[in-house]
Amino acid sequence: MSTPLRVIQWATGGVGKAAIECVLNHPQLELVGCWVHSADKSGRDVGDILGIETLGVTATSSKDEALALDADCVVYSPLIPNDDEVIAILRSGKNIVTPVGWVYPDPGNPRHRAVADAAVEAGVTLHGSGIHPGGITERFPLMISSLSSAITHVRAEEFSDIRTYNAPDVVRHIMGFGGTPEEAMQGPMAGLLEAGFKQSVRMIADHMGFRIDANLRTIQDVAVATADIDYAPFPITAGSVAARRFRWQALVDGEPVIMAAVNWLMGEEDLEPAWNFGGRGERFEVEITGDPTVNLTFKGLQPETIAEGLVKNPGVVVTANHCVNAIPDVCAAEPGIKTYLDLPLFAGRPAARLASAT
């Protein structure tokens, strides 16, 4: 067996912890370092941070210490990306996989170009991945579109109960739940999301050959609670935001032809408007409208209960896995920013007891 690729985990939120577990389960990868944001995690064994056995890898809050480590790849998963940080990682000679951007960067964007130039100059590769945006939003629509012809619309959509997302500070202060509709509409969430989702929509348009209008349409709506909703981390009182919907659409002569969408609800009761999951529960959907129309529903990416989600949310885990499983192919790729369109079809790995000897 070849020498494992050496991996550093950058940030240990939900995605970061799941990424570490995927690295530990991957026979081609070895965890050699971990950067953490908070000082109370610095100096601790990474296994202790995850609540598992000792791993012999010590976390550090020093970026210089992390960058000085001998590693092949960094799984970069902070809450909000930092271009300067990414450029520093690339210039240190490390490849990057990340769920926080660069799924289909615009070469005309100076910020994207600076990151791409840093990767090329350092001889390394950056790959933006994840699940939504990511696999659900680009990879799987493109794959199943080959089953259809004369396509008129492509849709990728999430339906999730946000009470299962174990990051209450994000839910309240960034997503805007529990605040006023005005605060939510003016808050940072739409801007943070649209950078990724608009890239996803443009990837589909470019690769499939849609003649789209120059500007993409962004639509965001909120629903408020009609009664107090039980949410342990903070109050969701009547009249406060209890559901959010986002739509990003590509248009041809004003007609929507591609849509990426998010539906986040604090349950299906006590909402105005009376949004729900449409009788099919939490899920992700991909739909190709054409000859024939093809529908694909993903179940299992959301937890079965709120309590389960607060311990380990499958949607967070698959986001991490989709990045980590790309690492061998990203490290083997030519320098620069590489999307799904540039990489071979990568896959997960079997459980150790079922794996072949080679």
pLDDT (0 to 100) of residue 25:
96
E strands, 122-240, in order: 125-128, 153-161, 217-225
Cβ atoms of residues 8 and 30 within 8 Å: no
3-state secondary structure of 46: helix
Q: How confident is the model at residue 225 (pLDDT cuts 50, 70, 90)?
A: very high
Q: How confident is the model at residue 309 (pLDDT cuts 50, 70, 90)?
A: confident
Q: Indicate whether 325 pLDDT > 60.
A: yes
And the tokens for 330? Answer: 């990203």
Q: For residue range 47-73, list pLDDT tens digits in order.
A: 999 999 999 999 999 999 999 999 999
Q: How confident is the model at residue 356 (pLDDT cuts 50, 70, 90)?
A: confident
pLDDT (0 to 100) of residue 5:
98
Q: How confident is the model at residue 30 (pLDDT cuts 50, 70, 90)?
A: very high
Taking the C-alpha atoms of residue 16 and residue 6, their distance in angstroms, rounded to an integer, is 16
Own/partner contacts of 313-318, CB < 8 Å, gap of 24 or more, are 313/14, 313/164, 313/165, 313/166, 315/131, 315/160, 316/14, 316/15, 316/18, 316/165, 317/18, 317/21, 317/22, 318/131, 318/135
314-324 helix and 14-25 helix, angle to the nearest 10 degrees = 50
pLDDT (0 to 100) of residue 192:
87
Q: Indicate whether 1 pLDDT > 60.
A: no
Identity at 261, one-letter amino acid code: A
Taking the C-alpha atoms of residue 258 and residue 244, their distance in angstroms, rounded to an integer, is 20
Residues pairing with 73 in the sheet: 7, 95
**Cα 108 to chain centroid, rounded:** 23
The domain made up of 135-300 is a member of CATH 3.30.730: no
Q: How confident is the model at residue 257 (pLDDT cuts 50, 70, 90)?
A: very high
> Cis peptide before 168, with omega less than 30 degrees from 0?
no
Q: Where are the domains of the chain?
A: 5-130+319-354, 135-300
CB atoms within 10 A of CB 75: 27
**How much of the chain is in helix, strand and coil states, percent to nearest 5?**
35, 25, 40
Taking the C-alpha atoms of residue 74 and residue 86, their distance in angstroms, rounded to an integer, is 10
pLDDT (0 to 100) of residue 263:
97
Mean pLDDT score, 223-227: 97
Q: Indicate whether 322 pLDDT > 90.
A: yes
Q: How confident is the model at residue 119 (pLDDT cuts 50, 70, 90)?
A: very high
Q: Indicate whether 207 pLDDT > 90.
A: yes
Taking the C-alpha atoms of residue 112 and residue 128, their distance in angstroms, rounded to an integer, is 12
Q: Which CATH class is domain 5-130+319-354?
A: alpha beta
Give CA separation, 147 vs 294, 297, 316, in Å.
Answer: 8, 16, 29
3-state secondary structure of 348: coil
pLDDT (0 to 100) of residue 107:
86
Mean pLDDT score, 106-129: 95
Q: Read off the pTM.
A: 0.93
pLDDT (0 to 100) of residue 195:
84
Cβ atoms of residues 48 and 7 within 8 Å: no
3-state secondary structure of 142: helix
Mean pLDDT score, 297-319: 91
Q: How confident is the model at residue 166 (pLDDT cuts 50, 70, 90)?
A: confident
Q: Indicate whether 341 pLDDT > 80.
A: yes
110-122 helix and 83-91 helix, angle to the nearest 10 degrees = 10
Q: Indicate whether 114 pLDDT > 70.
A: yes
Give CA separation, 299 vs 136, 218, 339, 347, in Å.
Answer: 12, 26, 25, 19
Q: Do the domains at 5-130+319-354 and 135-300 have one common CATH topology?
A: no
Q: Among residues of the chain, what percentage have pLDDT more than 70?
A: 99
3-state secondary structure of 334: coil
pLDDT (0 to 100) of residue 358:
62
Cβ atoms of residues 271 and 226 within 8 Å: yes
Mean pLDDT score, 133-143: 94
Q: Indicate whether 111 pLDDT > 80.
A: yes
Q: Indicate whether 298 pLDDT > 90.
A: yes
What's the chain's average pLDDT?
95
Nearest Cα neighbor of 298 from 181, 118, 132 is 132
Q: Among residues of the chain, what percentage have pLDDT more than 90?
A: 88
E strands, the chain, in order: 5-10, 29-35, 59-60, 73-76, 95-98, 125-128, 153-161, 217-225, 241-252, 255-265, 271-272, 283-289, 294-298, 336-337
Taking the C-alpha atoms of residue 35 and residue 20, their distance in angstroms, rounded to an integer, is 12
Mean pLDDT score, 161-178: 91
